[in-house]
């Protein structure tokens, strides 16, 4: 177990040598000095691990490389890192973005304000807007929410069960949320680490969205997840009619909800537990349940597929 009094920046890498130095240098340019990077590489065959070792050797007070076997993907890598470090606050860092100079400072200030309101013993999460850029950092769209057609500032538990609008690389969580995140014995059921964290904060604590961009969100074709643009009517309608993908996606959200209910011993009457077993009801009852509990996705066409096949 690694411990730090600074903000723990958890960096998950894989085959990232092309953009990694720019990301690490953007961390070094932060206006807030109280942070330390904990990185774990997932078995890269390029020069990623060597770059991490170089920065750790040059500045061991800032960079720590956690050795270990590959975890099998970004989600598992971030969950692994979350369990390896003890800190008061945690941030999640992708290998190919660029952090704006005040990212840590702005997010930490908002987190401390949220903790003063909620108490440090409650799970708290702060996330921000992102600026979407191309591989050369040229602006594609000033706001990810506009690019994707989502509304992260209007998040409710009902919406979060169906669709995640919390982007992990903008996220800061407190220790109470980190401790709760490690309680799940079924990581395979978790859709993504940021979605899981958001569910915990929404159910047991609090979330705060900052509408200002704190990161250049680089899109280069090889992103582990990446931003999917809200397309024109034809493109959205095509996705809405992809019945197999929609059904699989909806079922995965229910499996996640079931795992959440088990992890936190929720009663059967809890909204999350009920959503997890929604598939056992008739379509009419499912539609009524979702309508009464505000379970929906952002956008008319997204909801067309969700309501018809969910």
Strand pairing report for 85-86 and 2-3: parallel
| Residue 3: Cβ-neighbour burial (10 angstroms; 0-12, 13-18, 19+) | exposed
| Closest-CA residue to 209 (of 172, 160, 158) | 172
pLDDT tens series, the chain, 310 aa: 999 999 999 999 999 999 999 999 999 999 999 999 999 999 999 999 999 999 999 999 999 999 989 999 999 999 999 999 999 999 999 999 999 999 999 999 999 999 999 999 999 999 999 999 999 999 999 999 999 999 999 999 999 999 999 999 999 999 999 999 998 889 999 999 999 999 999 999 999 999 999 999 999 876 555 555 655 555 555 665 668 888 999 999 999 999 999 999 999 999 999 999 999 999 999 999 999 999 999 876 777 777 766 6
DSSP string for residues in 159-173:
HHHH-----GGG-EE
User: pTM score, two decimals?
Assistant: 0.92
What does the alpha-carbon distance between residue 78 and residue 125 come to, in Å, rounded to a whole number? 16
Please tell me what DSSP assigns to residue 189.
G
Q: What angle do CA 245, 241, 308 make, to 5 degrees?
A: 85
* SS3 call for 60: coil
- What residues are paired with 129 via a beta bridge? 213
CB atoms within 10 A of CB 252: 13
């Amino acid at each position: 177990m690694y411990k730090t009094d600074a903000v723990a920046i958890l960096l998950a890498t894989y085959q990232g040598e092309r953009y990694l130095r720019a990301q690490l240098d953007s961390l070094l340019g932060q206006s807030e000095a109280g942070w330390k990077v904990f990185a774990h590489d997932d078995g890269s065959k390029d020069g990623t691990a060597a770059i991490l070792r170089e920065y750790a050797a040059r500045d061991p007070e800032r960079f720590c490389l956690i050795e270990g076997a590959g975890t099998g993907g970004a989600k598992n890598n971030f969950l692994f890192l979350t369990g390896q470090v003890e800190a008061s606050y945690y941030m999640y860092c992708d290998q190919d973005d660029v952090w704006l100079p005040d990212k840590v400072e702005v997010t930490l200030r908002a987190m401390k304000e949220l903790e003063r309101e909620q108490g440090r013993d409650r799970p708290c999460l702060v996330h921000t807007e992102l600026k979407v850029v191309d591989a050369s950092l040229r602006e594609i769209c000033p706001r990810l929410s506009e690019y994707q057609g989502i509304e992260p500032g209007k998040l409710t538990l009902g919406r979060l069960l169906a669709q995640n609008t919390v982007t992990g690389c903008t996220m800061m969580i407190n220790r109470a949320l980190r401790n709760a995140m490690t309680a799940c014995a079924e990581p395979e059921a978790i859709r993504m680490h940021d979605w899981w964290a958001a569910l915990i904060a929404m159910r047991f604590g609090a979330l705060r969205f900052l509408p200002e961009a704190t990161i250049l969100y680089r899109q280069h074709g090889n992103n582990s997840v990446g931003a999917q643009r809200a397309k024109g009517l034809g493109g959205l309608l095509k996705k809405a009619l992809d019945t197999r993908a929609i059904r699989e996606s909806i079922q995965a959200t229910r499996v996640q909800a079931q795992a959440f209910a088990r992890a936190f011993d929720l009663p059967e009457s809890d909204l999350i537990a009920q959503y997890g077993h929604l598939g056992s009801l008739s379509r009419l009852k499912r539609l009524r349940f979702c309508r009464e509990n505000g379970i929906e996705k952002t956008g008319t066409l997204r909801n067309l597929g969700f309501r018809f096949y969910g």
